[in-house]
């Protein structure tokens, strides 16, 4: 029997730009099952990244509700949202967001400081994750010494440090070549097979081959395949 992990109701997000109001999301209703691999497709400006930011607690809706298990994100204060992001969500970004002065191992270990994990344990867990993503021999390299695909795998390892059950990936293949992009898709598929819920925003139609669910966005609205 399937179980709903995420439910959004009437989700809207508007921004004021000068004298105009931009409606990034115009009333989104979604029910996402636990252990789904959902791919969100849409052109630039369709609201994909806005949706991901709301689900990850990086932004707040203008209207509507977001329920994750029994938690209502829209009613949480900033401290509760920070705890939610730290313990329950792993973020993977298009531009990697690695710290240039740190080694790959240090980048992966860094988020654990905020969870109060001792240094020895941080390094042990970070090394195990680096091995899991196939970069055991690149632990002590800095980002500038790694390829784009390797940097993205470091970012995946960093996203996993607190063992989140929800993985949110924003255009994870956007800055990768074809081969590295295919490798990244397989990494995400493996995370899904391990029991995690994965939500990916992408322009890349290849990503749909791994999806259990596909959502198409246009102008902040969910549309069916014929209208897309």
Largest CA distance in the chain: 54
| pLDDT at 176 (0 to 100) | 82
Rounded distance between C-alpha atoms, residue 120 and residue 227, angstroms? 53
Rounded distance between C-alpha atoms, residue 30 and residue 47, angstroms? 14
Q: What strands, in cross-sheet order, belong to the sheet with 89-92?
A: 89-92, 166-170, 197-202, 37-41, 213-218, 221-223
Beta-ladder partners of 86: none
Q: What does each of the 228 residues of the chain score in pLDDT, given as a tens digit?
A: 678 999 999 999 998 888 888 889 999 999 999 999 999 998 888 899 999 999 999 999 999 999 998 889 999 999 999 989 988 999 988 788 899 999 999 999 998 887 788 899 999 999 999 998 889 999 999 999 999 889 988 998 999 888 899 999 998 888 888 888 888 888 889 989 999 999 999 888 888 888 999 999 998 989 888 777
| pLDDT at 1 (0 to 100) | 62
Rounded distance between C-alpha atoms, residue 109 and residue 94, angstroms? 20
User: Cα 75 from chain centroid?
Assistant: 21
Rounded distance between C-alpha atoms, residue 1 and residue 199, angstroms? 21
* Under 8 Å between Cβ of 143 and 96: yes
Read off the pTM.
0.89
């Amino acid at each position: 029997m399937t179980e709903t992990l995420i439910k959004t109701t009437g989700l809207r997000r508007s921004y004021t730009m000068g004298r105009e109001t931009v409606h990034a999301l115009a009333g989104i209703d979604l029910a996402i099952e636990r252990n789904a691999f959902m791919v969100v497709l849409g052109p630039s400006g369709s609201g994909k990244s806005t949706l991901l930011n709301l689900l990850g607690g990086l932004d707040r809706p203008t209207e509507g509700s977001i329920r994750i298990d029994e938690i209502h994100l829209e009613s949480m204060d900033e401290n509760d949202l920070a705890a939610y992001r730290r313990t329950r969500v792993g973020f993977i970004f298009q531009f990697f967001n690695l710290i240039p002065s740190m080694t790959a191992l240090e980048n992966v270990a860094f988020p654990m400081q905020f969870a109060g994990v001792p240094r020895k344990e941080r390094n042990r867990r970070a090394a195990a994750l680096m091995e899991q993503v196939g970069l055991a021999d690149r632990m002590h390299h800095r980002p500038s010494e790694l390829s784009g695909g390797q940097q993205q795998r470091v970012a995946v390892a960093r996203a996993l440090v607190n063992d989140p059950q929800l993985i949110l990936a924003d255009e994870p293949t956007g800055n990768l070549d074809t081969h590295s992009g295919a490798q990244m898709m397989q990494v995400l598929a493996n995370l899904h097979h391990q029991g995690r819920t994965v939500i990916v925003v992408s322009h890349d139609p290849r990503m749909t081959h791994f999806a259990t669910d596909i959502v198409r966005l246009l102008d902040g609205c969910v549309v069916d395949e014929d209208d897309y």
